[in-house]
Structure 1
Amino acid sequence: MSSFYTSLSGLNAAQTDLNVTSNNIANVGTNGFKSSNVEFADVISSSLYQAGNSVVGQGTRTKSISQEFTQGSVQSTGQSLDLMVNDQGFFVTKAAGTGSQVNFTRDGAFKLNANTDNVTDSAGNELQVLPVDQLGNVTATGSAAMRTLHVPETNGTAKATSEIDLSMTFPSDAAAPTDTTFSPTDAKSYNGATSTTVYDSAGNAIPATVYYVHTQSLTTNSDGTKSGTSQWVAHTYVGDQEVFPAGTTTAPTLTFDTNGTLTSPTGVQTYGAVTPTGASGPLAISFNYGTATQEGAFALQTVQSSQNGNTVGQLSDLTVGDDGVVSATYSDGSSLKLGAVALANFTNPSGLHQSGSTNWQATGASGAAQIGAAGTNGLGTVSQGELEMSNVDLTSELVNLISAQRDFQANSKAIDTDKQMLESIIQVV
């Protein structure tokens, strides 16, 4: 009967080999997956008093199932939070909350959590980074220094607009509008308009529009010379509210002499405060037309327009360098260094415990995680917009599949032969 159990151990070994191979094939498309190899050892049962040349093997057993941590193929995605470790190292993730389990992975498919603005994997585990200064230099290393990568959606402080500078060119030969009663909804009641975006104290964007009405032209003398003044009335709206110079209730008049020089108003003109619809509070804005001119047969045009308010910067770009430093850029031109992607290495990666979803956990066999920044202490660099695919060699796995099948068939045949021999003996008896 010993041959039966010997062949049975062979069947179990072939089944294990088949299971491992099947798992490798099933994960050929899994990001960051590492293929496994099964190793077997023979089983010998003997005593000290038994001659060495008379020992008969008792079958086989599974010695170990180890993983191959070779680099997988590269898939380019162009996504800012798709990351890949080149060469040695694992990304470090951690479930939200104090004391949560730390995981290590080669799968760099991360995303921004819309509720927390933290970078997480598909299971919600948060990507860990090391602190950096604003030059991108890592200021601390080791597991105690790690923190979750948080990407603020906004940056900076909103500032309410208090002054607008308008550099305008007015046409000297412009005719008066055909409709004599001004209305911002009647394009025939004004010659042209300019619009500038201003901001309230909360950073809300509000349009500031000035409508220009030509009310008086220069006088043409009999000798062809010009005399008198040219005048333009500037109707100013902040949002849906018309504003006037402080202390008045009439729109100001811009006056030009025969040389096209602005003679009135000069300098900064302060307007009364208004609270347009959608604003968080009143806006008191000053206007400066100091560089406005009037020239020949040109159309009304804005040469330059500026205002001194700003909204908070909105996240516009996220970049990750080869050194793993994460930089956020905002719409107001500001930028932040958010941290350096933490990488982990192990003395014996094959000793890591697989916990599913291409995550591993440290064990006594693997040794403690050695945490550092990309490109230091033997750790690889980080690529943005790329993912590491499975390192499964499908051709080799199909060959292993055939081999496992043949092993299974051979051991099945040995069991069948043992059965036939036993039946023959029983018949003789």
Structure 2
Amino acid sequence: MSYYTSLTGLKNAQTDLNVISHNIANAETTGFKKSDTAFADIVSSSILTDPALTTGIGARVSAIVQQFSLGPIEQTGSALDVAINGEGFYTVVSPLSGETQYTRAGSFTVDGGGYIKNAQGMRLQVFPVDATGAITSTTTLQDAMIPAQNAAGEDFAGVTIDSTGQVVATYADGSNTTLGVLALASFVAPTAMRQEGNASWSATGVSGAAKYGQPGSGLFGNLMAGSLERSNVDIAEELVSLITAQRNFQANAKAVDTATQLSQTIINLRS
């Protein structure tokens, strides 16, 4: 029995090492959120078991939970680098599959069609606005797209995103056009979202559907243009956790070795 008890400890320590290694590997990934491993004990008992003689038979991984605390803000100077100073996720949609994902990585660029997209080619979503820049719907989202020319035929000259999420295009004649208001999403249980890689997540039945709002309203944070949110991984903390996980692995390996020696001693006695 001691073999299998220690084996669960070895497997858990290995899982912990994997999670910590993943955190450290993504210490420089924009918008990355670190994960913590939670463990639970396994007990061998039944309704006929004397509570005073209940035997523990190891441990298991109960959850690997992501921590959505705010990461450090780094200024880049790019107009389409945006950080959320508070709660919320950017919403991006794949133009090919129509898949919707959510991210905190706010590094965007403009493609040849004028669409604002992330590094994976997914298009940033905004609330539609009228001619005055007022939001016309908070339930319908659309792609953020910059026309190459305005109604007067003037060429596109630049774009800005303010703290409330207004995406404003500037043209050669000095005129400005509000293209939409960036839509932020929130979830009842963000830790239950499915990780998709590239610092992106998708909604699940446990996380609940996304609720949208304008930056700076309610619990949603303001936007910081020209900035990016870095990974929230603390290298010093992860290195301490790495040492602890390594010691746990070594201790469980030693327990297996001790059980082997005891078994060998018993076999020698019988022979």
The TM-score bracket by the shorter chain reads over 0.9
Match in the other structure for 1:74:
73
Tell me how far 1:387 sits from its aligned partner. Answer: 0.3
Tell me how far 1:76 sits from its aligned partner. Answer: 0.4
- 1:376 aligned to 2:217? yes
Aligned runs of 1:14-413 on 2, under 5 Å? 14-97=13-96, 100-114=98-112, 116-142=113-139, 145-157=140-152, 312-413=153-254
TM-score by length of 2: 0.98
Retained in 2: the 8 A contact 1:313–1:333?
no
Q: Which moved more, 1:355-364 or 1:368-377?
A: 368-377
Tell me, in whole angstroms, the C-alpha distance in 2 between the residues paired with 1:68 and 1:342: 22
Secondary structure of 2:191's aligned partner: helix
Match in the other structure for 1:193:
none
Retained in 2: the 8 A contact 1:93–1:125?
yes
Larger Rg: 1
TM-score by length of 1: 0.62
Tell me, in whole angstroms, the C-alpha distance in 2 between the residues paired with 1:140 and 1:353: 27
- 1:421 aligned to 2:262? yes
Tell me, in whole angstroms, the C-alpha distance in 1 between the residues paired with 2:123 and 2:158: 20
Offset from partner CA, 1:97-135 (integer Å, 9 cap, x none): 4x6110000000000002x11000001000000011233
Tell me how far 1:331 sits from its aligned partner. Answer: 0.7
Tell me, in whole angstroms, the C-alpha distance in 2 between the residues paired with 1:408 and 1:323: 49
More helix by share: 2
- Structure 1 stretches lacking a partner, 5+ long: 158-311
Offset from partner CA, 1:248-292 (integer Å, 9 cap, x none): xxxxxxxxxxxxxxxxxxxxxxxxxxxxxxxxxxxxxxxxxxxxx
Q: How many residue pairs get matched? A: 270
Tell me how far 1:156 sits from its aligned partner. Answer: 2.7
Tell me, in whole angstroms, the C-alpha distance in 1 between the residues paired with 2:134 and 2:92: 22
Q: Give the residue type in structure 2 aligned to 1:53.
A: A
Q: Give the residue type in structure 2 aligned to 1:137.
A: A
Tell me how far 1:344 sits from its aligned partner. Answer: 0.2
Q: Give the residue type in structure 2 aligned to 1:35.
A: K
Secondary structure of 2:260's aligned partner: helix
Tell me, in whole angstroms, the C-alpha distance in 1 between the residues paired with 2:111 and 2:151: 21
Tell me, in whole angstroms, the C-alpha distance in 1 between the residues paired with 2:251 and 2:125: 51
Tell me how far 1:316 sits from its aligned partner. Answer: 1.5
Tell me how far 1:41 sits from its aligned partner. Answer: 0.1
Tell me how far 1:337 sits from its aligned partner. Answer: 0.5
Q: Give the residue type in structure 2 aligned to 1:129.
A: V
Tell me, in whole angstroms, the C-alpha distance in 2 between the residues paired with 1:155 and 1:141: 25
Tell me, in whole angstroms, the C-alpha distance in 2 between the residues paired with 1:318 and 1:355: 29
Offset from partner CA, 1:297-324 (integer Å, 9 cap, x none): xxxxxxxxxxxxxxx3111121111110
Tell me, in whole angstroms, the C-alpha distance in 1 between the residues paired with 2:57 and 2:91: 44
Tell me, in whole angstroms, the C-alpha distance in 1 between the residues paired with 2:201 and 2:32: 11
Secondary structure of 2:174's aligned partner: coil
Tell me, in whole angstroms, the C-alpha distance in 2 between the residues paired with 1:76 and 1:51: 62
Secondary structure of 1:371's aligned partner: strand
Q: Give the residue type in structure 2 aligned to 1:92.
A: T
Offset from partner CA, 1:222-272 (integer Å, 9 cap, x none): xxxxxxxxxxxxxxxxxxxxxxxxxxxxxxxxxxxxxxxxxxxxxxxxxxx
Tell me how far 1:357 sits from its aligned partner. Answer: 0.5
Tell me, in whole angstroms, the C-alpha distance in 2 between the residues paired with 1:129 and 1:152: 15
Tell me, in whole angstroms, the C-alpha distance in 2 between the residues paired with 1:84 and 1:138: 21
Tell me how far 1:409 sits from its aligned partner. Answer: 0.2
Retained in 2: the 8 A contact 1:84–1:108?
yes
Structure 1 segments (4+ residues) deviating >3 Å: none
Tell me, in whole angstroms, the C-alpha distance in 1 between the residues paired with 2:207 and 2:92: 18
Match in the other structure for 1:243:
none
- Structure 2 stretches lacking a partner, 5+ long: none
Tell me, in whole angstroms, the C-alpha distance in 1 between the residues paired with 2:18 and 2:183: 34
Tell me how far 1:378 sits from its aligned partner. Answer: 1.4
Q: Give the residue type in structure 2 aligned to 1:19.
A: N
Q: Give the residue type in structure 1 aligned to 2:260.
A: K
Q: Give the residue type in structure 1 aligned to 2:9.
A: G
